[in-house]
Amino acid sequence: MKNVIKHIIAIKNTQGDFEFIASPTPDSYTLQENVQHKKVLHLNHGGEEYRVYCDDNLTDQELQKLKNDWLKIDIDILKINLVTDQTDLK
């Protein structure tokens, strides 16, 4: 059975907070283009693992802020695309 992984793109807004957007399937050209030169974080929420892509040049402080913002989101409101993990995008 193949793993099902949720792919999320984290974007820092002008206030310095992070917003999280569900991304298309991993074999989608759009996702591959969006995650080039991105850092991949494997974060948990509600007992499930998510792949969260963020800018590669975030400071340690910004990464901690991203993780804190991630834990604050209501995962039920975020529309998640469940995708089959067919490729490793690291």
Tens digit of pLDDT for each residue in 39-77?
999 999 888 888 899 999 999 999 999 999 999 988 776
What's the pLDDT at 8?
85
Who has greater pLDDT, 6 or 61? Answer: 61
Dist CA 41 CA 15 (whole Å): 22
Note the pTM of the prediction, 2 decimals.
0.71
- Report the distance separating Cα 6 and Cα 85, nearest Å: 9
DSSP at 12 = E
CA 45 to chain CA mean position, Å: 11
The answer, yes or no, to whether residue 1 has pLDDT greater than 60, is no
Residues 28-40 pLDDT 10s:
555 566 667 789 9
CB 56 within 8 A of CB 38: yes
pLDDT reported for residue 70? 94
